[in-house]
Structure 1
């Protein structure tokens, strides 16, 4: 599978120190990678919710003479036409359009996974950390809890960190003292300040931070050793996170593949569950 327009855009932004406003523009461009080469600077500014001069400064920050030069470059590296991006169906209601948006997010995840290297590396890091702290606060707490629940079936010691406060650093310290070498974080908008601070602290105490976030330009990026993006849907009043949830399951698979005793642990759990009558068959 060829590299997606979104992946090519992310490579363009790598290595540049961007301001928060510029990261917002970059995030917007990645989410609409197939459309961006056809947008004017005014249209991109409106889409990103910034001023038109901010778009011009952003292009200059990337090393171009201005936005027209950036757009010409994008048209050279992106498909010549808007392939595979369906136009919104005017007859669909808002709920249907939100679902269509999530389907498109999953397609982007498929394209990203064409290179399994980052996920496989993350799986090895997570499998090798005993214990394994899994962090997710507020909107991301359900993602972290779901991962921790299933991970506990194959990993010997998973520690869920889904509550903030002054004890969060204490729990990170306890994991390090018990032998942890990596931390997995789920970070979704709006990004809590506590998560950014917790990741900065985790790296201070020598943990390798693996992060699932909505964008490679999320505020947690600078405190992550390995960040794997999965977009969220914004078509409803509250964001939808189908792609981050599925990416979490993919990471579980990669981690289980890196744990020699994973299958044995699963079979042992199934035997105990049957003996205790845990599930209704």
Structure 2
């Protein structure tokens, strides 16, 4: 259990004797059912425990959290990498069908807001420079992160001729990284539940002398242990589906920033591509040659 998780448990246990009867009921429930409590609203938690919503809010304040949402976030962080998909579904069973659309969209918006607030601009710019300097670029994404790697690699291939996309396939991951070495760049994309092979790939690439970049959700991610740079994007989920909206926005920003540094080369590449697209009627309609937003 990491330090943040121990801190939450410690707060509850060290404050227990000073709590009111109602607050103790909440504390006991959370300690025994933290996986369920993490996705309950304050009113729902109060209902299950048998106390008022205001008692739940006071409980959060007694633990020095700035309101119940902060306590709930701490609970979710504690369990997010341990939940199975079945548990994720069960945890959100309280969500009304009529609220699904708004809840998911609001969660994605919040993920982007937090990513903007927490992103390290210096690290971002350093990573852009590493792309421009790399002899070979490897973009790795496994399982649900695979589409992100494919998307990133698709655009980078318009700017560089040294990009390799590494995903699950016929060859083992480490076999696909066999030639990586000093002067090369590995970008590994992984979010809870983190793919163990992604961590192994980071470790292997680091040992081979490559520069390593992790695109992940938190400094608690196992990828960061082997990363020279870590770019963090929130991926807090509403259900069994991973939220990859903020990670995709971060990748978009990287592509744009890299593109600005290679304007001349990109212009030549796309001019040639426009001619190819038009000749082979890649896009539908009269303006097909003006579309560069692929299939």
Aligned residue among 216, 222, 227 for 2:230: 227
Distance 1:155 1:144 in 2: 15
- CA gap of 1:165–1:227, structure 2 versus 1, over 3 A, is farther
Deviation at 1:249, TM superposition (A): 0.9
Find the residue that maps to 1:220 and give its secondary structure: helix
1:90-133 Cα offsets, whole Å, 9 max, x none, are 996133212111111111122235x5322221111122223211
Aligned residue among 87, 94, 98 for 2:104: 98
> How many pairs are equivalent?
218
Distance 2:202 2:277 in 1: 36
Q: Is the 8 A contact 1:187 1:213 kept in 2?
A: yes
Aligned residue among 22, 36, 56 for 2:3: 22
Question: What RMSD over aligned residues (CA atoms) do the two structures have, in Å?
Answer: 3.6
Distance 2:98 2:271 in 1: 46
Q: How does 1:68-87 map to 2 (within 5 A)?
A: 71=64
Find the residue that maps to 2:222 and give its secondary structure: coil
Structure scoring higher RCO (CA < 8 A, sep ≥ 6) equals: 1
Find the residue that maps to 2:176 and give its secondary structure: helix
Distance 1:218 1:234 in 2: 16
Gaps of 5+ in 2: 9-23, 37-60, 67-94, 289-295
- CA gap of 1:150–1:258, structure 2 versus 1, over 3 A, is same
Q: Is the 8 A contact 2:202 2:223 kept in 1?
A: yes
1:11-58 Cα offsets, whole Å, 9 max, x none, are xxxxxxxxx43355789xxxxxxxxxxxx9959x769759xxxxxxxx
More helix, by proportion: 2
Aligned residue among 197, 201, 220 for 1:198: 201
Distance 2:186 2:7 in 1: 27
Q: How does 1:127-276 map to 2 (within 5 A)?
A: 127-163=132-168, 167-176=172-181, 181-259=184-262, 261-276=265-280
1:200-242 Cα offsets, whole Å, 9 max, x none, are 0000001111111022211111011101110113112222210
Distance 1:258 1:162 in 2: 27
Q: What is the TM-score when the length of structure 2 is the normalising length?
A: 0.63
Q: What is the TM-score when the length of structure 1 is the normalising length?
A: 0.66
Q: Is the 8 A contact 2:183 2:211 kept in 1?
A: no
Gaps of 5+ in 1: 1-19, 28-39, 51-67, 76-88
Q: Is the 8 A contact 2:134 2:185 kept in 1?
A: yes
Structure 1 stretches of 4+ with a deviation exceeding 4 A read: 23-27, 40-43, 45-50, 89-92
- CA gap of 1:137–1:236, structure 2 versus 1, over 3 A, is same
- CA gap of 1:257–1:147, structure 2 versus 1, over 3 A, is same
Find the residue that maps to 1:238 and give its secondary structure: coil
Deviation at 1:147, TM superposition (A): 0.6
